[in-house]
Structure 1
Amino acid sequence: MHERNIVAFIATCWLGVGLCAASTTDLAPPRPDRPWNPGAAHNTQLFPSTLSTSSAISDYTLPPNPALAVLAPALELDQEKSFSLAELVDIAESNNPNTRIAWNEARQAALAVGLVESAYLPRLTASAMGAYQAGSKQDSAYGLTLNSSNSVSGAIAALSLEWLLFDFGKRDAFLDAAKQTSVISNIAFTAVHQQLIYAVTMAFYAHASASEHAKTAVKSLENIKAIQVAAQDRYKHGIGTVIEVAQARQASAQANLLLVQANGVLEDTYYNLITAMGISPLTKLKIADITGRDLSPATLLPVEKIITDALARRPDVLTAYAAQKVSQANIAAAEAEFKPKVFVAASVAQVTGGVSVTAFPGFGLQAPTVDLAGSRRSGSVFVGISMPLYDGSMRATTLSKARIEAENAELRLTRIREEAVHQIILSRNALNTSVSTYNAAQELLNATQTTFDAALAAYRSGVGSITELTLAETQLLQAKNTLTDCYNKALAAAATLALSTGGLGAAPK
C-alpha cells in the first residue's frame, strides 16, 4: 500500500509538470494572423499574457512602455556662438555613447591582463568547517528495553598554499595574448574616435553645402523678383506682353518652391549632424560658415609615401597585426600543454572535536556517561611535477586549431593590407578629381554670371527675351550649386583620404 501511494504521487507530479509545459504555449500569439496581446506590469514593462484576441481586426501596434518615453536633455550651449567643425567634434567625443563604450571595452581588456598576471602568484586559501551530529536508538531484548543516544561535534581550520613554479611558457603565452588583446581594444578605441570625427565631418560638410544652397535659392528668388519687376515695367510701357509677365510670375513661383525645398534639406542636414554627434535632437546650436577656405593640392604627397605611412598606422592593419601576434601566442600556449609543470603546495590544519555517549535501560536505570575529546595540528609541504600522458588527442587538436588560426590571421593581415592600398589610391584619386572639378566649376560660374548679367541688361533695354533671361538665371543657380557641391566634396574627399590613411586624428583644419 505504501509503494502504491508513492507511485500515485510521482504520477500526479509528472502530469502537473506536463500540463504546465503545455499551458505555456498560450503565452504565444494565438494564431499566425492574430496579434499578440501583451500585458503590462506597473506600467513599466511588457510581459506575456494568456488572453487571446477575439477581434477580427488585426492591430499589430504594441502598447507603449512609459519607462522608455524619455528624451535625453538638450545640451546647454552658447546660443550666440557659431561652432566650428573642431568644436563640434570635441562636443561629439565628450557626449557620444560609442566613445564611452569603446573606452569601457579597452578598460576590460586591460583588466584581463591583470587576471593573467595573477596566475604567476601563489594562491592562499583559508577554510573553516564546524560539524555536529546526534543520534538515538532503542533496542529490546529478553523483555528489556535499552535507549541510547550519541552526539559528535568538531571543527576544522586549514590554511593551504598552491603555487605553480614553472610551466614551460604557458602563462607567458597567455600574458602575451592578453596584452595584444588589450592593444587591439585600444586600437578599436582610437578607430571609434576616427570614425566619429569622420561622421561629424561629413555631416558638417553636407550641412555647409545645404546652407549655401539655401542662400543661393534666396539670391535666385531675388533675381527672379527683379526679372518680374522688369517684365511688369516693360508691360506698362507697352513694349512687353502679358505672356512675359506670366512667365516671370511662373519663374518666381518656381524659385520660391526651390527655396522651400532647400530650407527643408538644410533642416534635415542639421539633424543629421546632431545625430552624428550623438547628442540630444533637442539641442540647438549655430554652425560656423566655412566658405572661402582654400583648396590647395600642394598637400598631396606621392602615392608611395602616402601608402607606406598609412600601412604603418591604419587601425585595421594594426589590429590585424596584433591579432596575428595573439594567434602565435596561442600556439605557444598549446605547445606548452605537452610539457610538464612544476608546483609547490603546502597546508596547515587544526582539528578539534568531542564525542559524548549516553545509554540507559528502559526501566529507568541511568547508564554511565562517557565523554571523549581531543585536538590535533598538522602541516605539510609538497613539491611535485605533473606530466600529461594521454588525453584522447585533445592537446594535439587544440594545437592544430591554433596553427590554422595563425595561418588565417596572417592571410587576413595580407588581405587587409591589400584592401588598404586599394582604398588609399581611390581616395587620393577622388581628391585629385574633386579639386580639379572645383576649379572647372569656378570657371563655369564666372561665365554663367557674365551671361546672366548681360541677359538681364539686354532685357531691361528691350532687346532681350524673357525666355533667354530666365534660362540664364536657371543656369546661374545651377552653376552656383555645382560650385558649392564641388567645394564641399573636395573637403569631404580630403577627410576621406585622411581616414583611409589613418591620419584623421582630429577635425580637419
Structure 2
Amino acid sequence: MAHKCKMSLCASRGFSFACVVVSVALAGCAQNAESLAPSSPSQPWTPGNTTGSSLLPRSDASQGAGASVRDFSVLGNAAVAELPPPPQTQAGKVYQLPELIDIAARNNPVTRIAWEQARQSALAVGIAEATFLPLITANAVGGVQNTDTPVQALGVQRYLNTTARGVSSSVALQWLMFDFGQRSAVVDAARQVSLAANVMFNASHQKLIFDVTRTYYQYGAARTRMEIADQTLRNSRAILDAAVQREKGGLGTTVEVAQARQQVAQSELRRVVAEGQERDAYQALLAAMGVSPTLSIKVASAGNRRLPSPVSMPMEDMIKLALVRRPDVLASYATIKASEAGVEAAKADVLPKVFVAGGLATGSGSFNASGLPTIGQQTSATGVLVGATMPLYDAGVRSANLRAAQSRVSAAHDIFKKTQQEAVREMVVASNAVRSALQSYQAATRLTEAATITYDAALDAYRNGLGTITAATAADTGLLDARQARADAHAAALVAASNLAFVLGAMTSRDTPDQLLLR
C-alpha cells in the first residue's frame, strides 16, 4: 500500500514537472515564431527559410566576382488562378445595350456585394428584435477528482486516497422585461440602417446601368473613330493616286508625291491609334459589365443613335422631383433617423431595468475514500427571481455615450445637407453638360458638312491641275478632324443625357437608355 501511494505521489510530481516543461516550451515557441518573418527589411522572404536569406548568385559576369542579387519572387498558388466561368453568350449574336445591362446585372460582383450588405443589415434587425425574447441556456458539468493525502499513523506515514465524482445539469432562463425603450430604439436604428442598405443596393444597380451605358457609348465612339480613320486612309490614298497620275502626266513633281505619301503614312498611324483606342474602349465596357476581359462578344453600334431632346422642365421642379428618389439622399436621411434612435437608446441606458431569471438544476455525485464505503447523493433545485438593476456610478461612461450619440446626430444632419448640396450641384452640372453637348454636336455637324465640301473640291481641283497638293492634304486632315469631333460630340451627348438621368435618380432599368432617346 505504501509503495503504491509513493508511486502515485511520484506520478503526480512527474505530471507537474511535465506541465512546467510544456509551458516553457510553448513560451519559447511564441518567441521563436518571429523567425517566420524576413530577417531584415532588405532580405527577401522565402517559404520554409527561417534565416530570411535568399541571395541567389547572378550568372551575369558583368556584375563582377562574388556579385549576387536578392530575389523577391513569391511561391505561386494555383488556387488564385481559378477564374469564374464567363457568362453564357450566343456565338454570332450582336448584343444591344439592354442585353449588355442584363449580363452585367447577373455577373458584376459590385451588386452582389451590395446585396450581401443588405442581407447583413436585415439580419441585424432580426438580432435586435430577438432581444425582446427570453434567453434559455442548458448547462452540464461533470468531472472526477483524485486526491492523495499523507497521514501519520503510529509513526508510519501512509497515504489516504479519495475520489470524488459528480455531474450537474441545469436549465436557466434570463428575460429582460422592461428597459424604458432601449431595445425598441436599437431595433429602430437597425431598421433604418437596413433601409439605407436596401436603398444603396438599388443604387448599385443604377450605377451599374449608367456605367455600362456610358462605356457602351464611348465604345461606339471609338468604333466610329476607327471607321473615320479607315475612310481618311482611303482619302489619303486617293490623293496619292492623283499625285502619281499628275507626275506621270508631267504636271506634278516628286515633292507632291512625297507629300502625298507622307499624308498616307500619317493616316495609317492615325488608324493604328484609333484601333488601339477601340480595343481599350472594348475592355472598358467589359470592366463596367464585370465580366472576364477575355470575353469576346459582338456589340451593336451606337454611332447612329439619335440624340435626346433638351430637358424642358424647370430646373427647380426637376431638382425637387429628383431629390425624393435619389438613393444617396434617402440613405443619408435614414442615417439621421438611425442616429436619432441611437440617442434614445443612450438615454434609456441610464434608467433601471427589470428582469426575470429562473433555473432548474439537478446533480448527482459520489465520494470514495480508501477503505470506506462510497457516499453518493442526488440533488435538484428550481427557482424564479424578479429583480431590477439601477446604474448609480460608472465614471461618466453612460453620459459620454449619450453625448457621442448626440454628436452623431449632428454629424448625420451635416452629412445630409452636404449630400443634398452635392446632388443638386450634380443635377445642375449634368443639365448644363447636356445642353453644351447637344450644341457641340450641332456645330460639329455643320463643320463636317463644310469640311466634306472642302475636301471634295480640293481633290477635284488638284486632279484637274487647278489646286495644290498642300490644299488637298490640308482638306483631308480638316475633314478627319471634323468627323472625329462630330463622333466625339455625338457620344458626349449620349453620355451626358445618361448622366443626367443617373443623377436625377431615373437610371432605374435596362430600358432607361433607350427611353431617353425617345424624348
State the partner residue of 2:38.
28
Supply the distance in 2 between the matched residues of 1:499 and 1:466 (Cα, whole angstroms): 49
Give the count of matched residue pairs: 486
Q: Please, what TM-score do these two structures have when normalized by structure 1? A: 0.88
Contact 1:177 1:329 in 2 (8 A): yes
Q: Is the aligned partner of 1:163 residue 2:175?
A: yes
| Residues 170-249 of structure 1 mapped to structure 2, 5 A cutoff | 170-249=182-261
State the partner residue of 2:47.
39
Distance 1:63 1:382, change over 3 A: closer
State the partner residue of 1:110.
122
Distance 1:498 1:58, change over 3 A: farther
Distance 1:20 1:147, change over 3 A: closer
Q: Structure 2 residue aligned with 1:265, among 277, 280, 303?
A: 277
Contact 1:131 1:155 in 2 (8 A): yes
Q: Structure 2 residue aligned with 1:395, among 384, 394, 398?
A: 398
Aligned-pair identity in percent equals 37
State the partner residue of 1:311.
323
Q: Is the aligned partner of 1:407 residue 2:404?
A: no
Counterpart of 2:143 in 1: which secondary structure?
strand
Distance 1:20 1:340, change over 3 A: closer
Distance apart, 1:498 and its partner CA = 1.7
Supply the distance in 1 between the matched residues of 2:488 and 2:54 (Cα, whole angstroms): 57
- Over residues 363-420 of structure 1, what are the superposed CA-to-partner deviations in whole Å (9 max), with x where a residue is unaligned? xxxxxx4443332332111122221111111111110111111111111111111111
Counterpart of 2:506 in 1: which secondary structure?
coil
State the partner residue of 2:482.
479
One-letter code of the match for 2:73? L
State the partner residue of 1:435.
438
One-letter code of the match for 2:394? D
Supply the distance in 1 between the matched residues of 2:30 and 2:99 (Cα, whole angstroms): 60
Distance 1:474 1:106, change over 3 A: same
Supply the distance in 1 between the matched residues of 2:150 and 2:32 (Cα, whole angstroms): 50
Identify unmatched segments of 5+ residues in structure 1: 1-5, 41-46, 360-368
State the partner residue of 1:65.
76
One-letter code of the match for 1:320? S
State the partner residue of 1:463.
466
Contact 1:435 1:490 in 2 (8 A): yes
Distance apart, 1:504 and its partner CA = 1.6
Supply the distance in 1 between the matched residues of 2:71 and 2:489 (Cα, whole angstroms): 46
Distance 1:29 1:143, change over 3 A: closer
| Residues 244-323 of structure 1 mapped to structure 2, 5 A cutoff | 244-323=256-335
User: Which piece of structure 1 moves more, 220-229 or 488-497?
Assistant: 220-229
State the partner residue of 2:342.
330
Distance apart, 1:70 and its partner CA = 4.3
Distance apart, 1:500 and its partner CA = 1.6
One-letter code of the match for 2:490? Y
- Please provide the CA RMSD for this pair: 2.8
One-letter code of the match for 1:423? E
Contact 1:39 1:49 in 2 (8 A): no
Q: Structure 1 residue aligned with 2:53, among 46, 51, 60?
A: 51
Q: Structure 1 residue aligned with 2:500, among 494, 497, 500?
A: 497
One-letter code of the match for 1:256? E
Distance 1:406 1:154, change over 3 A: same
Q: Is the aligned partner of 1:150 residue 2:150?
A: no
User: Which piece of structure 1 moves more, 57-66 or 15-24?
Assistant: 15-24
Supply the distance in 2 between the matched residues of 1:244 and 1:63 (Cα, whole angstroms): 60
Distance apart, 1:242 and its partner CA = 2.3
Counterpart of 1:297 in 2: which secondary structure?
coil
One-letter code of the match for 1:24? E
Supply the distance in 2 between the matched residues of 1:71 and 1:378 (Cα, whole angstroms): 60
Distance 1:12 1:75, change over 3 A: closer
User: Which piece of structure 1 moves more, 288-297 or 166-175?
Assistant: 288-297
State the partner residue of 2:139.
127
One-letter code of the match for 1:135? T
| Residues 327-366 of structure 1 mapped to structure 2, 5 A cutoff | 327-359=339-371
- Over residues 400-449 of structure 1, what are the superposed CA-to-partner deviations in whole Å (9 max), with x where a residue is unaligned? 11111111111111111111111111111011100111111111111111
One-letter code of the match for 1:50? G
Distance apart, 1:278 and its partner CA = 1.6
Supply the distance in 1 between the matched residues of 2:166 and 2:20 (Cα, whole angstroms): 39
Q: Please, what TM-score do these two structures have when normalized by structure 2? A: 0.86
Identify unmatched segments of 5+ residues in structure 2: 1-15, 58-66, 515-519
Distance 1:29 1:309, change over 3 A: farther
Distance 1:73 1:350, change over 3 A: closer
